[in-house]
Chains A and B, each alone.
Chain A
C-alpha cells in the first residue's frame, strides 16, 4: 500500500511548520469551525465515528475515552503523552518537530471537545529542545489569537503548557505521568478510578498520545468518513510505523493500518542488512512478544485485530526487526536490563522480578548457565505477569517467555556451550518444558 501522509504531512508539504503554509493547507480551519459552529459533543462524535484509536499502544477508541469524562466534576484537563520512551519508538518526536501546528491544533480541538481550559503536554526530559520549540509555537498561537481568552468571540478560553519529564520510562504510563506532572514520584496509581473520572489534580482528564491527537484536525476538517478511507473497519486510518533494527532503511513510515509486515520491511525498509534472513519481529518495541518471522507472519496485516493472530500486539507499532545474526539470549538480556532499570519499584513482582531475571539472563548470555536456569527464567517471568499495577511488569516478561518458547534452540545452544550442562540434561529438561 502507498504511504499516506496524515500525520507526517511535512514530507509532502514543504514548510508546513510555518504558520502561513499550514493555514494555506487548511490549518486551523477545523479549529475555527469547531469553536464557531460545533458543540463540544459534536467534535467528540466526529472523532468517535472516525474509528480513531489510541496510537500510544493500547488502541483504545479515542472518542469513547472522551465520552467517559465526568461532566459533574470540573475543571477538566487534557494531558498529552509525549513521553515517547518505548525502545523502538521515535514517531512522536518527528511529528512534533516537523508538523507542530497540526499537533497543537489536535490538542486544541481535544481540549474544546472535553471542555478543558488548561492543557499540558508532558514531554520526556530528553526532548528539551523540542519543548522549548513548542513553547515558542504556543506563544505564536497566542499572538495570532488562536489560543487565549474568549476565542473567536466565544466564551471558550484555552491555554497550553509544556512540562518536561526527567528520564523515566514509567512516566509513559498514564497514571504515572499524571503523578509526575503533579510533582510526585512517577509511579502508577491503582485503577479504577481511571483518569476521565480521577486524573490530573484529581479532576477528570483525557490522556492521549501525540500521534492520536495529530489526526484530529483532519477528522474535524474533512469529516469522519474521510479518515475511514484508510485502514480497516476496526483499525481505521493510517499509522506511523517506526521501523528499526536490522533493516537497510530504518525510519518512520506512515501507512494505512492493515499494511503487511512484508511490505514495511522489504518495500519500505529495503530488506535486511547484508540480505540476511529475517528471524523475528517485535511489533511493539521492547514490550513486544517475539513473532517468528515466517511467511504467515510476514503476510499478516499490521492492524489491531490481525497481529494477535501471530502471537503479539500491534502496540505503538515500533517494529524492531531481528535477523539471523542475532541470538535471543543476547536480545532478552537487553530488554530485561531495560525493564530492570525502568521499573519504578512500586510493585514487588516487577521490582524484584526484573532484578532476578536480569541476573539469570546475564548468566545465560555469558554461557555460564545450564538449561535449568532457562526454566527458572520462565518461572520468574510467569510470576511477574498479571501481578502488577501497570503494564510494565507484563511488558518485561513478553520478550523473555516468547523468545524461550519460540526460539528454544538459541537457549539450548547457550546451555550446551556451558561445559557443566550435559547434552542429555538439556534435552530432558527441554522435553519437560515442552
Chain B
C-alpha cells in the first residue's frame, strides 16, 4: 500500500492533474514537498511511494531529492533559518548579522540547536537584496520570508517557537 497516497490522496490527485496524462514525472518535485510535510525530510519509503506514483524508480526520485537544496533527506531542526549572505546581502551587513546570530543561538551554519528547534543555514541569493539582512524559514509546511532583520528580531521569533513547545508543537 502506498503510504503517501493513503495520507494525501486527494492532494496528490490535484498535483497529478496539473500535468499532461503521459507526463506524470513532472509531479516529482511537488510530491517531494508533500513527503516532507510529516517530519521535514524524505525517507526511503517516500522515495518508493513517489516512484510508484509517477512510474519511475526510487533511485530516480532520489537523484531529484539530492539535486535541489530545499529537499532534505535527514531529520534536522523543526525550523530552518536560511540566512542569505550572498554578495548583495553581504554588502549590507549580512555576514556580521549571521555571525552575531550564530553567537546568540550557540550554533554555526549547518548545525541544529540542542532542543531541536532551529537549524541554521547560510544560503544563496533569495531575491530580497534590498531588504538585507534577511532569511527565509523553511518548516514542514513551506517557506516564508523575514526581511530587514536584526539579531534581536530574529531571536524573538526563535523564542516564540520555543514557547510553542519546540519539537512537539
Task: Tell me the A residues contacting B by CB distance below 8 Å.
Answer: 84-90, 92-93, 118, 124-129, 161, 163-169, 180-186, 201, 242-246, 250-252, 286, 318, 320, 322, 326, 331, 334-335, 338, 341-342, 344
| B87 at interface, CB cutoff 8 A | yes
Q: Are the C-beta atoms of B20 and A244 separated by less than 8 Å?
A: no
Flag if A322 contacts B67 (CB, 8 Å). no
> Which of A88, A183, A344 interacts with B64 by CB under 8 Å?
A183
Instruction: Give 9 nearest A-B pairs by CB, closest first.
Output: A167-B69, A166-B68, A183-B25, A250-B130, A244-B129, A87-B125, A128-B143, A167-B70, A166-B70
Known: A88-B88, A183-B26, A250-B92. 8 other contacts (CB 8 A): A89-B129, A124-B127, A128-B143, A129-B143, A181-B26, A183-B56, A331-B87, A334-B90
Among A87, A168, A185, the one with the most B-chain Cβ atoms within 10 Å of its Cβ is A87
Answer whether residue B54 sits at the interface, using C-beta atoms and an 8 A cutoff.
Answer: yes
Interface string of B73-115 (1 = CB under 8 A from A): 0000000000000111011100000000000000000000000
Chain B positions 139 through 150: 1 when the CB is less than 8 Å from some CB of chain A, otherwise 0:
000111100000
A90 touches B32 (CB 8 A): no
Interface hits, B116-152 → A, CB 8 Å? 123-130, 136, 142-145
> Roughly how many angstroms separate A18 CA and B10 CA in the complex, as a whole number?
30
Q: Are B130's CB and A87's CB within 8 A?
A: no
- Interface residues of B toward A: which range? 35 or more
Q: Is the pair B128, A186 in contact by a Cβ cutoff of 8 Å?
A: no
Contacts of A167 on B, CB cut-off 8 Å? 68-71, 123
Do the beta carbons of B87 and A125 come within 8 Å of each other? Answer: no
Shortest beta-carbon distance from B133 to chain A in Å: 13
Question: Across the interface, which residues of A come within 8 angstroms of B86, CB to CB?
Answer: 87, 286, 334, 338
A-chain residues with CB within 8 Å of residue B142 when the two chains form the complex: 128-129
Sample (21) of A-B pairs whose CB atoms are under 8 Å apart:
A88-B87, A88-B88, A90-B130, A125-B68, A126-B70, A126-B126, A126-B136, A129-B142, A161-B18, A163-B18, A163-B30, A164-B29, A168-B68, A186-B68, A201-B23, A242-B129, A244-B129, A250-B92, A250-B130, A334-B86, A338-B86
B residues in contact with A185, CB < 8 Å: 63-64, 67
Q: Which residue of B lies closest to A251 (CB)?
A: B130
For window 2-61 of chain B, which residues contact chain A by CB distance below 8 Å? 18-20, 23, 25-30, 32-33, 54, 56
Interface centre among A90, A164, A201, A244 (most CB of B within 10 A): A244
A218 to chain B, nearest CB (A): 24
Contact between chains at A334 and B70 (CB < 8 Å): no
Interface centre among A90, A183, A244, A252, by most B CB within 10 Å? A183
Q: How many A-B residue pairs have CB under 8 A?
A: 136
The residues of A that contact B30 with a CB separation of less than 8 Å are 163-164
Q: Check if B54 sits within 8 Å of A87, measured CB to CB.
A: no
- The answer on a CB contact under 8 Å between B129 and A338 is no
B17, chain A: closest CB distance, angstroms: 9
**Chain A residues whose C-beta falls within 8 Å of the C-beta of B143 in the assembled complex:** 125-126, 128-129
Which residue, of B23, B28, B130, has the highest number of chain A Cβ atoms within 10 A?
Answer: B130
| A86, A129, A245: residue with the most chain B Cβ atoms closer than 10 Å | A245
Q: Across the interface, do B29 and A126 meet the contact criterion of CB distance under 8 Å?
A: no
Contacts of A338 in B (CB 8 A): 86-87, 124-125
* Bound form: Cα–Cα A80–B45 in Å: 33
Closest to A335 in B: B87
Q: How far is the CA of A344 from the CA of B124 in the complex (A)?
A: 14
Residues on B with C-beta less than 8 A from A161 are 18-19
Cβ-defined contact, A182 with B25, below 8 A: yes
Closest to A90 in B: B127
A90 to B30, CA, bound (A): 24
- Most A C-beta atoms less than 10 A away, residue of B27, B32, B124: B124
Q: Which of these, B32, B71, B129, B136, contacts A250 with CB under 8 Å?
A: B129
**Distance between Cα atoms of A245 and B86 in the complex (Å):** 11
Q: How far is the CB of B158 from chain A (nearest CB, A)?
A: 20
Q: Please report the C-alpha to C-alpha distance between residue A181 and residue B68 in the assembled complex, in whole angstroms.
A: 13
Q: Report A-chain residues with C-beta under 8 Å of the C-beta of B27.
A: 183
**Residues of B contacting A125 in the complex (Cβ-Cβ under 8 angstroms):** 68, 70, 143
Nearest-neighbour CB distance to chain B for A428, whole angstroms, equals 32
Give chain A residues whose Cβ lies under 8 Å from the Cβ of B129.
Answer: 87-90, 242, 244-245, 250, 318, 320
Task: Please report the C-alpha to C-alpha distance between residue A201 and residue B23 in the assembled complex, in whole angstroms.
Answer: 8
Tell me whether B69 and A168 are in contact (CB under 8 A).
yes
